[in-house]
Amino acid sequence: MLISAGTFCRKLFTLALLVMAPLALAQRLAPEPELKAAILVNMFLFVDWPAQGGQAPDRLTVCYLDGGPVATALEQLGGKLIKGKPLQVLRVDSATMGGCHALYLSSLDAVSLPRVVANGRASGILLVGDTPGYLQRGVMLNLEIDGGRVVFDIDLRSMRQAGLAVSSKVLRLARQVLE
């Protein structure tokens, strides 16, 4: 079967558009909890944890305290390989979060936030929230909706206090970076 040069070019152009579809299109198509979970998990590619942390070296563990839509979306990502390590997703309580690389905090966790922030910093855990005001309360990465898009803010001071290092590539993409 022969195809004309014009048909080939149209198909190639269509394929290029599909491959280069912007994140904004994905955000319109994917549900908000799934986008937030994907952003959180992809942060593992750009964060380095201290060697002396209590996290398991053979896997990357993201934890959550209370269930909800983002926690459900995180559960669906369990087993995904990141940096050559499987992603483990666990529900924990504030007393058993020491083995987590990251801890997702929903709006339901507001009451326990001060205790969790103190323990998280001491344990080298990336604290991730999705509630307005959480960044000012000690969460290191906060996901919010702005203009119909999921954006994130970073508290670089809190991350450094926890011994975490974040790539400058992520800092350039953040809506706001507290230093």
How far is Cα 157 from Cα 135, in angstroms, rounded to an integer? 11
Structural domain includes residue 23: no
The amino acid at residue 155 is D
Residue 25 has a pLDDT of 44
pLDDT at 19 over 70: no
Section 155-172 average pLDDT: 94
Residue 70 has a pLDDT of 95
pLDDT at 13 over 70: no
Pairwise pLDDT comparison (73 vs 97), residue with the higher score = 73
Find residue 177's DSSP bridge partners. 154
Residue 51 has a pLDDT of 74
CATH of the domain at 145: 3.40.50.2300
Cα end-to-end distance, the chain, whole Å: 61
Section 146-167 average pLDDT: 94
How far is Cα 164 from Cα 125, in angstroms, rounded to an integer? 8
Residue 154: half-sphere exposure toward Cβ, Cα within 13 Å: 24
Task: List pLDDT tens digits, range 20-70.
Answer: 444 444 445 679 999 999 999 999 999 998 876 667 778 899 999 988 899
Residue 3 has a pLDDT of 54
How far is Cα 122 from Cα 46, in angstroms, rounded to an integer? 20
Range of the domain at 42: 29-178
Structural domain includes residue 173: yes
Residue 52 has a pLDDT of 63
What total of structural domains would you count in the chain?
Answer: 1
Structural domain includes residue 5: no
Structural domain includes residue 116: yes
How far is Cα 51 from Cα 44, in angstroms, rounded to an integer? 15
Give the DSSP H/E element, type plus range, for residue 142: strand 141-146
Residue 18 has a pLDDT of 45
